[in-house]
Structure 1
Amino acid sequence: MIQLQLQVELAYEIRSPAGADLIFNVHAAQTGQQTVSEEELLLSQPVIPDVAMDPATATRFMRPRRSGPAESDIPGGRKHRTPSR
């Protein structure tokens, strides 16, 4: 069995004062040919990840939503663990 450990960093800047709607497709695929044993998503902004799955392809998408003021002071960002199959 081959095991891989990957780390990816994505940096972006939104210059519009109105913000923007973003949708990310960055989660590892969970298919019959591979098993995701662990994954972690670290968000450096005070947002809540809304993860949805396309039932036809099992592809997962994440849309960050603004969090309330009580959640905006998270040191080091917000961690989100997605359960593995």
Structure 2
Amino acid sequence: MNATQGPVPAEYEPIAGPPGRIELTSAQLHGRACVVCGSERDSLTAAGHAYTCTGDGGRLGWPVKACARHVRRLDGGETAA
């Protein structure tokens, strides 16, 4: 993925909760931005894995992170708006 490429489709498997399909930016895939809102300002916490497709049909795993506002929602805690 290069810096000029837009968001890519991914299968997201949060630490808790059902998996789903989302689109992620390079910063989100590399753990530099929240997997939910894209914020790069807050401290980030592990929030599961995202999987993108490889050219040969395989899956490439990415450890993703969430900001403090969204991490509770993803680990089964309170729902943040």
- Name the TM-score, length of structure 1 as normaliser: 0.31
Structure number, greater radius of gyration: 1
Q: Identify the structure with the greater helix proportion.
A: 2
- The structure, 1 or 2, with the larger RCO (C-alpha pairs under 8 Å, 6+ apart) is 1
